[in-house]
Amino acid sequence: MVLKQTACLLMAAAFATAFIPDACSQSHAAPTANAYLGFDRNNYPGDQNLKTLRQTFSYTGFWLNQPPSAKANPWTGKRRKLQSAGFGFLVLFNGRLFNELKSV
């Protein structure tokens, strides 16, 4: 469980850093790309927290199915609310483990 959560956080961090310009190669030029900071949680943060979160974050991880170790998806039905708050999306899907796949 912790390993899956760590992997999701690392994926989100890698996605975010892909937009940060390389400081070494542009030491004399002004950066031309923007950095976009996002967040990823298994539990939906709540509608009342979106405005505060949007002050810092540009996008959010958005679960299409149940997050790891969850019995339900708390993100279901929240896409429009997040979009109207100004968030972009990093789509997340919790795939099955190898031993959960049926052999052919």
Chain centroid to Cα 47, Å, comes to 17
- What integer pLDDT is reported at residue 5 of this predicted model? 54
- What integer pLDDT is reported at residue 30 of this predicted model? 59
What are the pLDDT tens digits along the chain (104 aa)? 544 554 555 455 555 555 444 444 444 555 567 889 999 999 999 999 999 999 999 999 999 999 988 899 999 999 999 999 999 999 999 887 888 787 65
Report pTM.
0.60
- What integer pLDDT is reported at residue 28 of this predicted model? 53
Q: Hey, how many other C-beta atoms are within 10 angstroms of the C-beta on 40?
A: 22
Residue 15 contacts by C-beta under 8 Å, 6 or more apart in sequence?
38, 90
